[in-house]
Chains A and B, each alone.
Chain A
Amino acid sequence: MMRWLFFLPLVVFAVLVGLWFWGLNPNRDPNALPSQLINKELPAFALPALEGSGSPALARSDLSDGQVKLINFFASWCVPCRAEHPHLETLAKETSLPIHGIAWRDEPAATLAWLQNLGNPYTRIGVDQKNTVGLDFGITGVPETFIIDAKGRVRYRHQGPLDPRIINTVITPLVQALRREAEEAS
């Protein structure tokens, strides 16, 4: 008994070291909020179009068209969105992946000016000025990007701006996998 107790501090210390290693892991993000929508159907919504953008409106029914697509929440007042924007442009130009935009808590005139200035990578644009659809998506801020599969279910959510690393290591492989999945199913 006594001899066992003698090692107890060592055992406690080892457990703590394990916890510290887990806690200090640079890949662990304690602020990450996993999306509740993964693998679930999105709730019904229909957002108005952005007048003058040339992109049609976005509704829930546009998402189950058998294509894999991105939904990107953005706003003209959002600085990281500006950083992300050229990468969305590249994706839209160089791939066949549809990118739908949701203008979140933004004045339509400001959104339009922003897109005219920087370019419009979006296939469809929905205007969500009052954050009604944003709440349904569990948005905590902009930018946020969702990968939607062929059946209109959310398969992945990225919080924060997309960059080439995320696009090449996460987005593109997942989109390809989902496309294969859709082909096999049909």
Chain B
Amino acid sequence: MIRALSDKFSALRLALAVALSLFAGLASLPACSVEPDEVLPDAQQEALAREISKQLRCVVCQNQSIDDSDASIAKDMRLKVRELVVQGQDEQSIKSYFVERYGNYVLLRPPFDASTALLWLMPLILLAVAAIGIAVALMRRQKTLKNNTEAPLSAEEQDRLEALLHEESKS
């Protein structure tokens, strides 16, 4: 009886494990909104189209790429990307097609130019400021340590110190 029950449980456990791993497998698939009818027959062209779609921002959902977005305008943009890929245009010219119409805003990775220089260089600037700050602090500490080293005790002072210590240990 107990034997039969435990068999049943192990079968259940197995089924649960299989279901869970299946679910985890599905959940770990990359999320994308490309619909089956959009996919290009040529796998290489489709891969290029996906690569470009991931770098273009959906203009109505702000922080999603058109590859991730379900917005109808994102679908239009994905189809346009595929149309241009099929025409044989390369990644750069397809991206500039969209930049001409929507501005640099449409690129999820902003290009380096005068208006974005501060954005791109900020990590380096902060690093430099921090390095200078630490260097100044270290130098200042060394200076104070040097100033604090006092002259060694004279013979007279040494005698007095020993006498005091002696007195203390006696009592």
* Bound form: Cα–Cα A136–B103 in Å: 12
Does B100 sit at the interface, judged by CB under 8 A?
yes
Chain B residue nearest to A1 (CB atoms) is B136
Question: CB-defined interface of A131-142 with B at 8 Å, one 1/0 digit per residue?
Answer: 100111111110
Chain A residue nearest to B98 (CB atoms) is A135
Q: Are A130 and B76 in contact (CB under 8 A)?
A: yes
Does A10 sit at the interface, judged by CB under 8 A?
no
* Bound form: Cα–Cα A183–B99 in Å: 34
Q: Are B60 and A141 in contact (CB under 8 A)?
A: yes
Chain B residues with CB below 8 A from A105, complex form: 72
Chain B residue nearest to A5 (CB atoms) is B136
Chain A residue nearest to B83 (CB atoms) is A132
Given contacts A130-B76, A140-B73, contact A33 B59 (CB under 8 A): yes
Given contacts A33-B103, A34-B103, A36-B101, contact A131 B60 (CB under 8 A): no
Chain A residues with CB below 8 A from B101, complex form: 36-37, 135-138
CB distance from A129 to the nearest CB of B (A): 11
Chain A residues with CB below 8 A from B105, complex form: 33
Chain A residue nearest to B59 (CB atoms) is A140
Dominant secondary structure of chain B at its interface with chain A = helix
Q: Are A138 and B102 in contact (CB under 8 A)?
A: yes
* Bound form: Cα–Cα A52–B72 in Å: 27
Q: Are B76 and A140 in contact (CB under 8 A)?
A: no
Question: CB-defined interface of B22-52 with A at 8 Å, one 1/0 digit per residue?
Answer: 0000000000000000000000000000000
Chain A residues with CB below 8 A from B95, complex form: none
Q: Can you show 28 pairs from A to B with CB atoms below 8 A apart?
A: A33-B59, A33-B103, A34-B103, A36-B99, A36-B100, A36-B101, A36-B102, A36-B103, A37-B101, A105-B72, A130-B76, A131-B73, A131-B76, A134-B76, A135-B76, A135-B77, A135-B80, A136-B101, A137-B101, A138-B101, A138-B102, A138-B103, A139-B73, A140-B59, A140-B60, A140-B102, A141-B60, A141-B73
Pick the 8 closest A-B CB pairs, nearest first: A138-B101, A131-B76, A140-B59, A36-B103, A138-B102, A140-B60, A33-B105, A36-B101
Residues of A within 8 A of B (CB): 31, 33-34, 36-37, 105, 130-131, 134-141
